[in-house]
């Protein structure tokens, strides 16, 4: 069977989600902000037209926001995740082999499709269906490799005449499009590689496709070599339909305000550790290595800087929050230095094990906590329910460092009290 992939990607996803529940903002420029209301992470098409760039700090575009009446939202991941699931469920109906690549995009395997089915028509149908059922508009790129499907999707967005669906199964069309696109538009080619490639005279996507794969491998990496082959229609990257098990769990946040108090910083670390432990249990894994880091802001050239991280290996793999809090706290005390204005902290878990599938240490006393598993289960269950929350004392009771979310929209689809009302 000839490989064929479709990449379906939601337009301006976060901004579109917010607009969905605010019909009054249909033609209003809308942005969604990162945690702490720090940077712009999503822009509606009106904002893109105004020339406001992706990723810029909010305070730098304050004037434009006021001048053009741009409406700002704090990020509301519960809402985006829920709408994402709805979109993915629709796609899955038409392509059982689906790779959910990120919150707003997915690869579909089209190789099993009826050979008489026109792929352009198929793409249009998908687009119409998602739009009608969720209100989210998508772009569709179809091609014999994932890298080309990405590029087709890029073209679908860039050129309105395509109607947001581009079929790139034909090699001549591939060549023509590749010649039009910059090498930096290619999936897997970032800022660093773009400048290195351009030094060698590789400017367009077509230049990269025509490069010698072996030479690319020795000068860059196997990854880029694969990209070259994929651009030539040779499929090297298969669909990853089953989410691979996580290799690490990170929980970190910038603080709403700079933190100078040791106890407050300590509580923040405890809070992140608690959250990371929850995620770990969600993955049904145990972990053995814990890393804690703290740092000052890298954006303050006149302030003393400090950044430090430290890891420790536990004597046995665990998913018990109490074990993990102990290690995190010990690590924190090792790396903490007074006299700095801390901007961010976090924890990292790694070296994961399945329950009952690790080597016990012959000389290690069996000091595992009694009923650890069932206790953690209860804690998680209470915290998932609507009957209040319980927490560990180490997290503190009145944190002053929590993040800013001054423009948060309601949890329209995941909380009964926030259900939109129609009058």
Among 74, 120, 125, 194, binds DNA (CB under 7 A): 194
Contact flag: residue 150 with DNA (CB under 7 A): yes
Q: Which is nearer to DNA, 38 or 375 (CB)?
A: 38
Among 2, 132, 191, 421, binds DNA (CB under 7 A): 191
Q: Which is nearer to DNA, 190 or 388 (CB)?
A: 190
At its nearest, how many Å lie between DNA and the CB of residue 65? 12
- Report residue 76 as tokens: 């509301």
Instruction: List the one residue out of 128, 156, 135 whose CA is nearest residue 9.
Output: 156
Region 374-403 residues binding DNA, contact defined as CB under 7 A: 403
Among 89, 117, 222, 382, binds DNA (CB under 7 A): 222
Contact flag: residue 223 with DNA (CB under 7 A): yes
For 87, half-sphere exposure in the C-beta direction (CA atoms, 13 angstrom radius) is 32
Contact flag: residue 212 with DNA (CB under 7 A): no
Q: Which is nearer to DNA, 192 or 387 (CB)?
A: 192
- What backbone phi and psi angles, to 5 degrees, belong to 311? -115, 160
Contact in structure between 91 and 8 (CB atoms under 8 Å): yes
Contact in structure between 192 and 184 (CB atoms under 8 Å): no
Region 310-349 residues binding DNA, contact defined as CB under 7 A: 311, 343-344, 346
Q: What is the DSSP letter of 222?
A: H
At its nearest, how many Å lie between DNA and the CB of residue 104? 5
Stretch that binds DNA, among 181-189, 208-216, 259-267, 414-422 (CB under 7 A): 181-189
Our CA dihedral for 356, 359, 361, 366, rounded to 10 degrees, sits at 0
Q: How many residues bind DNA (CB under 7 A)?
A: 47
Stretch that binds DNA, among 169-177, 253-261, 322-330, 415-423 (CB under 7 A): 253-261
Q: Is 136 helix (H, G, I), strand (E, B) or coil?
A: coil
Q: What is the DSSP letter of 184?
A: G
Among 86, 198, 246, 407, binds DNA (CB under 7 A): 246
At its nearest, how many Å lie between DNA and the CB of residue 115? 30
Based on the number of CB atoms within 10 Å of its own CB, is 113 exposed (0-12), middle (13-18) or buried (19 or more)?
middle
Stretch that binds DNA, among 96-104, 111-119, 120-128, 133-141 (CB under 7 A): 96-104
SS (H, E, C) 241-263: CCCCCCCEEEEEEEEEEEECCHH
At its nearest, how many Å lie between DNA and the CB of residue 287? 12
Contact flag: residue 141 with DNA (CB under 7 A): no
Among 279, 288, 322, 407, binds DNA (CB under 7 A): 279
Contact flag: residue 247 with DNA (CB under 7 A): yes
Contact flag: residue 57 with DNA (CB under 7 A): yes
Cα end-to-end span (Å), the chain: 53
Q: Which is nearer to DNA, 175 or 196 (CB)?
A: 196
Contact flag: residue 179 with DNA (CB under 7 A): no
Q: Is 370 helix (H, G, I), strand (E, B) or coil?
A: coil
Contact flag: residue 249 with DNA (CB under 7 A): yes
Among 102, 170, 212, 364, binds DNA (CB under 7 A): 102
Based on the number of CB atoms within 10 Å of its own CB, is 72 exposed (0-12), middle (13-18) or buried (19 or more)?
middle
Q: Which is nearer to DNA, 48 or 368 (CB)?
A: 48
Stretch that binds DNA, among 19-27, 192-200, 331-339, 372-380 (CB under 7 A): 192-200
Contact flag: residue 34 with DNA (CB under 7 A): yes
Q: Which is nearer to DNA, 222 or 382 (CB)?
A: 222
Q: How far is CA 245 from the centre of its chain?
A: 16
C-alpha dist (Å) from residue 254 to 55, 56, 174, 259: 16, 16, 43, 10
- Report residue 69 as tokens: 């009446």
Instruction: List the one residue out of 41, 30, 49 whose CA is nearest residue 160.
Output: 49
Contact in structure between 377 and 384 (CB atoms under 8 Å): no
CA–CA distance, 187 with 130 (Å, rounded to integer): 25
Give the dihedral sign, CA 312/315/321/327: negative
Contact flag: residue 115 with DNA (CB under 7 A): no
Q: Which is nearer to DNA, 229 or 279 (CB)?
A: 279
Q: Which is nearer to DNA, 262 or 341 (CB)?
A: 341
Based on the number of CB atoms within 10 Å of its own CB, is 191 exposed (0-12), middle (13-18) or buried (19 or more)?
exposed
Residues that bind DNA (CB under 7 A): 34-36, 38-39, 41, 55, 57, 59, 101-105, 150, 187-194, 221-223, 244, 246-254, 257-258, 279, 297, 299-300, 311, 343-344, 346, 403
């Amino acid at each position: 069977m000839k490989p064929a992939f479709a990449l379906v990607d939601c337009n301006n996803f976060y901004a579109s989600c917010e607009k969905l529940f605010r019909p009054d903002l249909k033609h209003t420029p809308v942005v969604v902000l990162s945690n702490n209301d720090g940077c712009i992470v999503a822009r509606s098409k009106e904002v893109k037209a105004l020339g406001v760039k992706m990723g810029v700090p909010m305070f730098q575009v304050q004037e434009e926001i006021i001048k053009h009446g741009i409406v700002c939202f704090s990020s509301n991941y519960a809402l985006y995740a829920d709408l994402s699931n709805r979109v993915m469920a629709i796609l899955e109906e038409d392509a059982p082999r689906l790779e959910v690549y990120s919150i707003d995009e997915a690869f579909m395997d089209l190789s099993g499709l009826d050979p008489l089915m026109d792929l352009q028509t198929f793409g249009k149908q998908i687009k119409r269906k998602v739009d009608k059922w969720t209100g989210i508009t998508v772009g569709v790129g179809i091609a014999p490799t994932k890298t080309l499907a990405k590029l087709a999707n890029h073209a679908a967005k860039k050129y309105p005449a395509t109607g947001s669906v581009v079929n790139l199964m034909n090699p001549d069309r591939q060549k023509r499009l590749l010649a039009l696109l910059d090498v930096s538009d290619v999936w897997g080619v970032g800022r660093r590689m773009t400048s290195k490639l351009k030094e060698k005279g590789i400017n367009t996507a077509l230049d990269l496709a025509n490069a010698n794969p072996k030479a690319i491998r020795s000068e860059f990496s196997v990854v880029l070599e694969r990209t070259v082959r994929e651009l030539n229609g040779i499929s090297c990257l298969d669909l990853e339909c089953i989410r691979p098990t996580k290799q690490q769990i990170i929980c970190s946040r910038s603080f709403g305000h700079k933190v100078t108090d040791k106890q407050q910083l300590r509580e923040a670390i405890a809070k992140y550790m608690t959250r990371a432990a929850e995620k770990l249990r969600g993955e049904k894994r145990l972990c053995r290595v814990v890393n804690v880091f703290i740092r000052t802001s890298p954006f303050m050239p006149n302030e003393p800087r400090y950044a430090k991280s430290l890891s420790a290996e536990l004597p046995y793999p665990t998913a018990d929050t109490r074990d993990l809090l102990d290690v995190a706290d010990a690590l924190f005390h090792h790396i903490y230095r007074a006299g700095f204005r801390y901007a961010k902290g976090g924890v990292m878990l790694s070296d994961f094990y399945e329950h009952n599938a690790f080597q016990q240490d012959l000389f290690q006393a069996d000091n595992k906590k009694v009923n650890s598993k069932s206790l953690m289960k209860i804690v998680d269950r209470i915290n998932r329910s609507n009957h209040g929350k319980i927490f560990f004392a180490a997290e503190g009771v009145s944190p002053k460092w929590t993040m800013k979310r001054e423009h948060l929209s309601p949890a329209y689809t995941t909380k009964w009290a926030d259900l939109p009302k129609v009058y």
